[in-house]
Structure 1
Amino acid sequence: MRGPHNIWRLIRTGATLERTGAMGVVLDAFQAPPSLRIVARVLGWPFKWLGLKGDPSMPPATRALTALGPAYIKFGQVISTRPDVVGDDLAHQLRVLQDKLPPFPVEIAKATVEAELEQPTDQLFSDFSEPVAAASIAQVHKAKLLKTGEEVAVKVLRPNIEKAFRKDIDAFYLAASWIEFLSPASRRLRPTEVIKHFDGVVQGELDLRLEGAAGGEYAANTANDEGFIVPHTHFFFSSKRVMTMEWAEGIPFGNIEAIEAAGHDRRILGERVLQLFLRHALNDGYFHADMHQGNLKVSASGDIIAYDFGIMGRIDEYTRRVYAEIIMGFIRKDYHRVAKVHFEAGYVPADRDVDEFAQALRAVGEPIFGMDATQISMSRVLSYLFEVTERFGMETRTDLILLQRTMVVVEGVARTMYPQINIWEVARPVVEHYIKQNIGPPALLKDFLGTARVLARFGPKLPQLTEAILMQQSNQQQNHPESQRPSNKIWYFVSGVMIGAIIMLAIVLL
């Protein structure tokens, strides 16, 4: 991972950033410390003549990443969704990376389809178009199934993309270790863990069978969501490097003029996309984590269509409850409760002062409620919240990176559609409904029932387990007569069995 080839790739990266004029933009955006700036300049400037030129019509940062290759492009896509981290200027420069990238020839795409599906293309499809969209990992063609005539979207991976990604990601790991060494303040953000997470996401995108399965699960979870459509996958026409899906006809979410011309209500669409994301994250724990304008359309009936399921997020039920309580605490201005939730979840070290933390959180929340609706920014809230939590020793939680990032993206999508949207007012009914269903007496009963199901499943083994623990306790007392008190282990076990028996008895009687 730290071989000479990776060092050379980083030198080439620095040289390309220098040659395209992007080095200063990147260093300023990340507020790099002097030590890191010196290393970056030393790596890049002497080899500037070796750097790639890129497309001179593009902004410097976009030009550099496009020249460097697919892994850099994908990383730029991730960074473009975090204006709270890199600033509006760099985020705006990188936004073009979400689509409109140079495609590869249709002949190569057809050859890939034939190799993967082991049939000639003309025996599968009656029509197979030129690329209609091209991204860093794959491109999409519009086609028709030969047997049924159904219009479909055929997604095909770029040639040799797996090998290219592996080389670049190895260099990313090396860069992350250098950043942690040269900038101790960056360790809280866990650069190596971020790259590891990015690596896992990319590996999932490089196997289109996984994306098809993700789309299937997402479609099942959202089947009853009004005004929301997830195209279904044709698994018999899909493989590791090819995926065929139902064609979704609609207006791209970023084409505001066409949406207005079609007579759609922009306010409803803006509010709906935000509420849908929150419902999916809170209720299902499974959400579309790449929900930018390029992956959304508006159907003729006004429904929101989502596609491209290469990056999906998943959070467990406990984390969902914590997340909901934090959001609701801010909405209700109950900063002390927000602070306690952070402590209860272990996000903030227990030796810190909860009242002082609550006061710092008030400094985050109060300015928001004095703003006009058009000024409320989730990215600004997250940015300030990260500053506060850093001061109180909270480390970056890698399992929430996608959730935080997607929240910022969806806010941007909703605000682009309807600039006057009030984020808090739109979020309130979704969060309140989740809390009503999942926190309090209903949730307690649900947890008890879940515990009862587990005990019922292990019911046949409980007598043997009880006897084994009692025999172990008896042997210990015989070998050590001075110890007559039962251990905590036996008390915990017996108490658990008794509570479980009471729960199951209550269920039977009810």
Structure 2
Amino acid sequence: MIRAMRNIGRVRAILRTLARYDALFLAERAGIPPRLVRLATRLSGGGRSLADMAERRPGERLAAALQALGPSFIKLGQALSVRSDLVGEDIAADLSTLQDSLPPFPGEQARAAIEAEFGRPAEALFESFDDEAVAAASIAQVHFAVTTEGGPVAVKVLRPGIEAAFARDLDLMDWLAGLAERHLPACRRLHPVESVRTFAEAVAVEMDLRLEAAAGDELAENFRDDPVFRVPRMDWLRTGRRVLTLQRIGTTPIDEADALTRAGFQPDEIVAQMARIFFLQVFRDGFFHGDLHPGNLSVADDGTIWAVDFGIMGRIDRATRYYLAEMLAGFLNGDYLGVADVHIRAGYVPAHRSREDFAQAARAIAEPIFGLPMRDISLARLLAQLFAVTDRFEMEAQPQLLLLQKTMLVAEGVGRTLSPDTNMWELARPLIEGWVAENMTAEARAAEAIGDGVRVIERLPALVAEMGESVGRLAREGVRLHPDSVRALAGGGRRRRRWPLWAGAAVVATLALAAL
């Protein structure tokens, strides 16, 4: 009850902001009865939205509202931008433009954070430290400095109090997701509670800058021998949970095509290198940069491509890489029955669903896209539309692929800015097909199966010990059922499909508070 009352107070402010930006439509899309949405609009001042909102698309209005709600909701909007299965392709596209920028906090607070982290004043670590931030985002901001050894560095510092602010808002999101999962049957397939907790885990990684530094180091290690791709060197002596220090680089932003051309670079060659680098990250390593917007990519005078900001990274296991390669090859070759087979084999589509129906849906998605001129073909759009049919075919959401789709979309945009007539995925196609030919032969799969068997044998002693512990726990404590399971059994398994009376009353009470 205390949690509910605390969160209802926060809901009041959120409703007012959503109404101000004419973004309450999201509640109706979530399955809340239209009569309650209309009541929310009326009680929360929806009729007094900002003057220019009527001319904006729904996704633009929602992005503006989330920007106004602050850091947690900016990050939530960015997370939703990869969930076209939740919000729709158009809204996801608008949310992908959400700018993660906020006014900077004072330089003296950054210095105080550095002293608190390392137990020494900034002057003891840096010969010089610029108090004016060069970039400020929702979680942290960046200052330029020079170390006491004379090395130019960039110093990333978390915002004061950001952990507590996120904890409060994440508790609210978890509470609302729990209500949705219990009382909106249509939402259960999308696992809202699990999605919020996955989002919370991602945010927790971004708020421990040691993990970001480790991700950058891992990416650098993967490309240690690459002649083109570079990652700044991490300064671990000046890196902690709330402070990250890394090598400062002097480069040209990758979307400044004219400047790169004047420097003697060929934009289409840069796009080709981007396609190669992205392919290697996804298929060779299964570890990719998940935020490839132009601010995080740049080109040095020697033609090397540099990446920064490793707070959002994606991992794809080998089985998913097999699925992805086979699925893309099927689409590129027009083998739609093959695309259906891949989805069923991977377990993404239940086996009882019609193979032919899924192939028909795949054809309907792909043909309009592949019928475009080569420069306009978008594999990211193809994946987005594929994810949009999840409900029809009972497909479970795949978070790692959703992040990949968003990253591909951003990379496509960068590529088109550099060289509008070049399609980076056509350049990557031979690499993908070569990877399939090399890694999916019977010999390669047999070798992998042998390796998996060896790993299982190595784990057998631990598995036996865990089994013994589980049996002992059952003997001591018996079987415990979740309260929801007990209630379901007591109710004879009846399913309640109507919006519960008490839940509706709670929403109305919240809306009444919002009107105060």
SS of residue matched to 1:320:
helix
Q: TM-score, normalised by structure 2?
A: 0.79
> What is the aligned partner in structure 2 of residue 342 from structure 1?
343
Aligned AA (2:43): P
Cα deviation, residue 192, structure 1: 2.7
Cα deviation, residue 124, structure 1: 0.9
Aligned AA (1:127): S
Contact 1:193 1:398 in 2 (8 A): no
Contact 2:379 2:425 in 1 (8 A): no
> What is the aligned partner in structure 1 of residue 133 from structure 2?
131
Contact 2:84 2:384 in 1 (8 A): no
User: Any idea what the Cα deviations from partners look like across 1:347-393, whole Å, max 9, x if unmatched?
Assistant: 11111222332232222222232211233223431232124443222
SS of residue matched to 1:23:
coil
Residue from 18, 29, 33 that aligns with 1:32: 29
User: Any idea what the Cα deviations from partners look like across 1:387-419, whole Å, max 9, x if unmatched?
Assistant: 444322212123433223322222233233322
Q: Structure 1 residues 155, 40: closer, same or farther in 2, change over 3 A? A: farther
**Over the residues paired in the alignment, what is the CA RMSD in angstroms?**
3.2
Q: Give matches, 1:108-123, under 5 Å.
A: 108-123=109-124
Q: Give matches, 1:469-508, under 5 Å.
A: none
Contact 2:84 2:387 in 1 (8 A): no
2:262 and 2:299 mapped to 1: Cα distance? Answer: 12
> What is the aligned partner in structure 2 of residue 244 from structure 1?
245
Aligned AA (1:241): R
1:70 and 1:444 mapped to 2: Cα distance? Answer: 45
Between 1:40-49 and 1:190-199, the stretch displaced more is 40-49
> What is the aligned partner in structure 1 of residue 23 from structure 2?
23
Cα deviation, residue 70, structure 1: 0.9
Between 1:104-113 and 1:309-318, the stretch displaced more is 309-318
2:422 and 2:293 mapped to 1: Cα distance? Answer: 17
SS of residue matched to 2:224:
coil
> What is the aligned partner in structure 1 of residue 502 from structure 2?
none
> What is the aligned partner in structure 2 of residue 164 from structure 1?
165
SS of residue matched to 1:274:
helix
Aligned AA (1:277): F
Q: TM-score, normalised by structure 1?
A: 0.80
2:382 and 2:205 mapped to 1: Cα distance? Answer: 31
Between 1:390-399 and 1:83-92, the stretch displaced more is 83-92
2:356 and 2:100 mapped to 1: Cα distance? Answer: 43
2:74 and 2:229 mapped to 1: Cα distance? Answer: 29
SS of residue matched to 1:131:
coil
SS of residue matched to 1:113:
helix
Cα deviation, residue 268, structure 1: 2.2
Q: Structure 1 residues 36, 203: closer, same or farther in 2, change over 3 A? A: farther
Between 1:182-191 and 1:425-434, the stretch displaced more is 182-191
Cα deviation, residue 48, structure 1: 4.1
Contact 2:292 2:407 in 1 (8 A): yes
Q: Structure 1 residues 133, 450: closer, same or farther in 2, change over 3 A? A: same
Q: Structure 1 residues 191, 294: closer, same or farther in 2, change over 3 A? A: farther
> What is the aligned partner in structure 2 of residue 435 from structure 1?
436
Q: Give matches, 1:95-244, under 5 Å.
A: 95=97, 97-99=99-101, 101-129=102-130, 130-147=132-149, 149-180=150-181, 184-244=185-245
Aligned AA (2:225): N
Cα deviation, residue 87, structure 1: 5.2
SS of residue matched to 1:390:
coil
Aligned AA (2:386): L
User: Any idea what the Cα deviations from partners look like across 1:132-190, whole Å, max 9, x if unmatched?
Assistant: 1111100011111112x111110000000000001111112233344556754444333
1:31 and 1:331 mapped to 2: Cα distance? Answer: 37
User: Any idea what the Cα deviations from partners look like across 1:239-291, whole Å, max 9, x if unmatched?
Assistant: 00001011122122333443344333222223332332222111111111122
SS of residue matched to 1:98:
coil
Q: Structure 1 residues 13, 328: closer, same or farther in 2, change over 3 A? A: same
Q: Structure 1 residues 280, 188: closer, same or farther in 2, change over 3 A? A: same
User: Any idea what the Cα deviations from partners look like across 1:452-486, whole Å, max 9, x if unmatched?
Assistant: 75488589x9xxx9xxxxxxxxxxxxxxxxxxxxx
Aligned AA (1:252): P
2:29 and 2:416 mapped to 1: Cα distance? Answer: 30
SS of residue matched to 1:395:
coil
User: Any idea what the Cα deviations from partners look like across 1:50-100, whole Å, max 9, x if unmatched?
Assistant: x999x99x975454323322101212233456689555577457625134x
1:61 and 1:398 mapped to 2: Cα distance? Answer: 22
1:180 and 1:72 mapped to 2: Cα distance? Answer: 20
1:225 and 1:95 mapped to 2: Cα distance? Answer: 31
SS of residue matched to 2:203:
helix
> What is the aligned partner in structure 1 of residue 39 from structure 2?
42
Aligned AA (2:39): V
Cα deviation, residue 424, structure 1: 4.0
Contact 1:131 1:139 in 2 (8 A): yes
Q: Give matches, 1:412-491, under 5 Å.
A: 412-451=413-452, 453-454=454-455
SS of residue matched to 1:264:
coil
1:340 and 1:322 mapped to 2: Cα distance? Answer: 10
Bigger RCO (CA 8 Å, 6+ sep):
2
Aligned AA (2:137): A
2:173 and 2:192 mapped to 1: Cα distance? Answer: 10
2:172 and 2:455 mapped to 1: Cα distance? Answer: 46
SS of residue matched to 2:144:
strand
Identity of counterpart residues, as a percentage?
42
* Structure 1: runs of 5 or more not aligned: 466-510
1:265 and 1:378 mapped to 2: Cα distance? Answer: 24
Cα deviation, residue 47, structure 1: 4.0
SS of residue matched to 2:99:
helix
